Every structure is written in structure tokens, then in C-alpha cells.
Amino acid sequence: MTTLEHVRSPEAYAGPRPLGVLAAQVRAEVLRYRRLPEYVVGVVVLPVILFAMFGLPNAEQTLPGGTSVVALLFVSFACYGIVSQALFTFGADLAEERQQGWLRRLRATPMPMSVYFGGKLALSLVWSLVTITGIALLAQLAGNAGFSPARLATTVGVLLLGTVCFSPMGSAIAYWARPRAATTIVNLVFLPLSFLSGFFFPLSQLPDVLQGIAPWLPTYHFGQLAWGAMAPADDISLFGVTTSGSTWLHVVVIVGWGVACTVLTALGYRRDLDRERA
């Protein structure tokens, strides 16, 4: 390909690449959402508030294995926070952006779409960390959780893995649902997932039928993995969570779900692109 010489403006300069692009995208996304109170309050802070209301009153109880009940409740509420954030950031908001001209406008720029999605994922990771930190601080300072640093670190790792693997579920909904329906669908998916995975109250309190469904849900395995990272098996079952399946099974289900939803998103994206150009 022979190309015409680029006539540069005297003021023009080369930006840092390729990381500069991603950094700029993440920065813009974080800034943008920081200024949306409905996002910060509804998605980032709500799990912290719910934890303060329903988790903290259980402070001071310690299980035989040495784990505090508050530490396990931290895991429950953080899991809920992660799933809600992944679904709402990627589901409802992405669907809305698809509606607007901006996403289409960006196609006329040299930005690869991977940067756009990478930026959103990083945004979600940043806000996930804010939620996790908020709940953990409350649990430690007000609830005397007595976290084991190693277990806490592993748990946070599992939670962030959840953000990475469940975000594609949101984007798949954003790309396959009608934009106006996306928020409703996200709610319809999110609430049963949270209840049936035991994020709000122990699974053992649910009817048998529903308990039977639970192991088929990716979020159930996410919960299992996260509680398992925080406490030994005995403590978890005393807490009311029936453990089942190996750690590897949980990891495979979560990652597999993430991959499947990524493929769905990619197909939806292609469909969108073909439609737009068509």
C-alpha cells in the first residue's frame, strides 16, 4: 500500500501507545460514572448500605473454626455487589450507549473496540474494589471481623474474577435484548441469581426445588468459591451454606460461563455492526 505523506501540524505529537489509549479510556469511564449519582449510589454504595443494615447486626459471633460470621457475611454482600455491578454496568448502561450515536461515532475513529470493552471492564474492576473495600472496612472496623489477611486477599481475588467473568453476561444481554428491555431483563436475571445463590440468606432456608436448581447457576459456584476462600468448610456449613463440588469445578463453571457470554457478546456485536453498515 502506497500512502500519502502525512502533513503534520507543527503542534502535533504522538501519544503514548498502546497503553495510553486504554489508560485514557479507563480514566474517561471512571470520571464519567463518578459523576452519575444513580450509578455510584445504586450500584457501588448500595451493597455497602445493605451490609451495614443486615450484615453488621451479626457482629461478635465467631464460628468454631475461628471465622467470624461477619467475615462470611462480607463475602455474601460482596458477591451480590459484584454480580449487580457486572450486570448493571455492562447490561443496562451498555444497552443505553448502544442506543445513542456515540458508540457508532467511535467506529469512525481508529480506536479498536477491544479498548472500549477493556475500558468498561477496568471501570467495573475499579468500582468493584470500591464496593469490596467499603464492606471490608465496615466489617473490620464496626463488626470486628478479624480477617485473616491471606484469606481476605484470596477472597478479593475470587471476587474480582467474578467481575471479569460476569461482566460478559451483562454485555451479552445488552447486545441481544432490545435496548429498552435490557434493564428489565437485567433485573429479572439478577434477582433470582442472587437469591438462589444464597447471597441474601442461606440456601438451606429455600424450598428443596429451588435448592436443586442452585447448582446449575454460575453465581452459585461463584458464591461457593468465595466463601471457600474466606473460611474452612466446617465454618461455612455452620453458616448455612451447603458446600458441594470441588474448587476446580467452581472455577471451571465461572470461567466457562464468562467465555460463553463473551462469545455471545462478540456475535451480538458483529450483528450490530453488520446492521449498521447494512
According to the 3-state scheme, what is the secondary structure of 134-157?
HHHHHHHHCCCCCCCHHHHHHHHH
Q: Which is nearer to other proteins, 124 or 224 (CB)?
A: 124
Query: How many other C-beta atoms are found inside a 10 Å radius of the C-beta of residue 95?
Result: 24
Whole-angstrom distance, CA of residue 176 vs CA of residue 37: 27
Contact region for other proteins (CB under 8 A) — 20-28, 71-79, 81-89, 183-191?
A: 20-28
Stretch that binds other proteins, among 56-64, 101-109, 153-161, 194-202 (CB under 8 A): 101-109
- The count of chain residues that interact with other proteins, using the rule CB under 8 A, is 41
Regarding 3 and contact with other proteins (CB under 8 A), the answer is: yes
1 contributes a contact to other proteins by CB under 8 A: yes
Given 181, 234, 247, 276, the residue binding other proteins (CB under 8 A): 276
Q: Considering the rule CB under 8 A, would residue 275 count as an interface residue with other proteins? A: no
**From the CB of 260, what's the least distance to other proteins, in Å?**
29
CA distance linking residue 123 with residue 46, whole number of Å: 17
Rule CB under 8 A: which of 62-81 touch other proteins? none
**For residue 230, what is its C-alpha cell?**
474466606
CB-CB neighbours of 264 under 10 Å = 17
- Shortest Å distance, C-beta 179 to other proteins: 15
By CB under 8 A, name the one of 64, 102, 141, 207 that touches other proteins: 102
Report the alpha-carbon distance of residue 239 to residue 218 in Å, rounded: 21
Question: Could you say whether residue 35 binds other proteins (CB under 8 A)?
Answer: yes
At 52, is the secondary structure helix, strand, or coil?
Answer: helix
